[in-house]
Each structure stands twice: as C-alpha cells, then as structure tokens.
A and B are shown apart, each in its own frame.
Chain A
Amino acid sequence: MDVKPADQPAMPAYPERKEFLRQRNLLGASLLGAGMLLGACDQRPVRTGGVPAPAPRPLGSRPMPTAHPSKAQPPGKTPATPKTVDPPNRTMGKIRVEPVPIEPPPRLMGDVMVVPKPDAPVPDPTKQEDPPRVPGEPPPR
C-alpha cells in the first residue's frame, strides 16, 4: 500500500478554536479562558504504549445507570460470561473515504528542470565557463 497525499483539505464542519473564539468575540463574548480555548501547549501525550494522541480531556458526566457484566462482579469471584453486544443500527449518514488520485510527488529543491529558450545559444558542454563576475568582487582564484 502506498502513501497517498489527500489532494483536498478535510474541511471539517466544526471550527478551529481560534475561529470559534473570533466568532464569539464578534458577538461580544468575554475573553476569559482564551488561553484554554486556544489550546495552550502545556500537556504532553500520555504514554501507555499506544499510538500517540493528545493528553486526555476531562469527562464530566453522569455514570451509566444500566447493569453490565463487568459491574456486577464482586471482587474475587469468577466473572460472569459477558455477551458480545449486537452492533447497533446505523443512524448516521455514511461518509466514504474516496480513493484520492495519486499525483506525482512534488519535485525537491535542486531538481528544477531548466528549459532553454529556443533562440538561446547552445552551451558547449566541453568548455568550462567562468561564473559571471559581480562588480567589486575579487576574481576567482
């Protein structure tokens, strides 16, 4: 499998923090917490052996009310056999990642093709030419 550069920006339908903040300011919101909104760079990823991801955010929310096999287990007892949950019905629209056409890789610096002008004199490859002199510079040794 090859590396395929995406030739279209992802264009997410949710704004960057900076843009979100700008919009809020236009609406007269306070700048309090701007450092947080702008994602101050103060936390390194947590290292647990997985693929790197930004440090975890807090999850303030209600606990799950429903019973679950892993909940019902008193310490030290043999666990009940958990059942695999059936996949839920899909409710959201499907978004496909379309294969992106492979473009020739961009040329690296130093790999510039020089197209000679039709009327330019053809240089003699056997003849070493002096580089053009800059006025005031000493001649090359």
Chain B
Amino acid sequence: MTHIDQVPTPGAPLPVEIGVKAGAARTNPFARVFDELVRFAQSRSLFMLHYCTGCGAVELPPAMTSRFDMERLGIQPMVSPRQADILLITGYVSVKTLKRVILTYEQMNSPKYVIGICSCTVNGGMYWQSYATAKKLNDYMPVDIYIAGCMPRPEAVIEGLRGLIENIRTGRADAWKDYYRRYDYYLGNQQRLFGADWQTSTDVIAEARHYDLFGPATLGAHTALLEQHQRPLEALEMRIEIPELMRRRSRSDQDGTAQ
C-alpha cells in the first residue's frame, strides 16, 4: 500500500447541485407528464439493500416488521446490489468495511440512493477519534439522506425514508449523478484511505459516459493516478466443473455414439 503523501489532496468539494432546475425548459409538454409518472412509480417501489455495518442496524427490524412496517411505503429488502435501489448504511463504517460499501455501491444500477443512518455516518459519531472508522460517508459516495441519531428510532427511519420517497417523486433525489460528475473527488478521498493503487471492478468513467453525465470534474489528478495503477478488467471465464455432471454427460455422449 502506498503512503498518503503520494495521493494528491482532493480539492474542496464543489457545491452540489441537487434537483431539477425550476422551470428547466422542456420542449415536449408531454415529456414532463411521463417523467412524473415514472418518478411516482419509482418512488413507490423501492428495493433496499441494507448494509448493516454498525449498531444502528438494531432499529431496522422493528422498522421493517409489523410494528412500523416499511412495506406499506413500498420498500422491501433486497438481497443483491444489482437489483437494489437504496443502499442503507446503518452505523459506523470502518475503513475495511468502507471498501466493501464502495464496491457494493458501484455495483448498483442507477438511479440509486444512499441513506446514512446514525450519527456515525454523518461525522464519525462517538468514533470521531478512532483511526479505524471513516467519518463522512459523503466523502466517498454521494448520500441522499442522513438520519442522525445514536441510534435513530424507527419513527425517524421511516420519516427519513418518506423524505427520500418525496425527493424521488419530485425529482430531487439525484445525488447519484454527482458520483459520475465528480468522480475524481470521490476517488481522491478513497485513494487517501486505500492507497494510490485502489481500483474497483467497475469502470465508473465509462458509466459516466453511458449515463451522459461525463463532466469536467469527472476526470482529474486522481483518475490519472488510477490509470497509472490500473490493471485491465477482464471478464471471468465461465467454466462448469461439477464432477457428477461431467460424468453423466460423458456417459450420455457414449450412449449417443453407441446407438
């Protein structure tokens, strides 16, 4: 691992632009109607991947089950990042976990939303002095909503989720775009912790181009550093090696030739 001095310091975060600009010119009047419909549908069927990193996760079971019942808001737990809309980080994120959280986040399909539950995700909480926990989650990935508290009650969790739903419905929940627009900034913060040779298996820059979110701040000193250290991504070779299956297959092959 490289030392921190070898990683350039990320600049001050640019002001985040959140939300559609009021009165953004749209030529097709029906496009907006359709957008609204889509957003409404999106806000009412959210699949949530809860990455239970810290003690705040304790408040999730009551929030999910019959007492407070998240599902009446259309939110359901989901098992894989590829199919999830919300990434819920519940509590302190140790540096080691942060790596996995970033990998998980990058695997999710856009649009994706991040909710940081607990004071620990906001500013390190009671672990502010600890060398092992990351402090500001939004240094490493854009966060849509923080729910502060140590730990927040299920009412607060539900309230936060309703806030997110409202933001999605009104088109203000587009923090995920920021990851593509300012990838260099986020990557820089990640490199400060994980070293200059930090690399994930997602080509974020290509994704930024795909979503048409490639901007002037997507590339920078840190992506240049990434390019220097990057090992090319390769598809995994698919191979099925189940002995029983192979034996049966070769037997049926022989039978086939015999007939």
A and B interact physically:
no
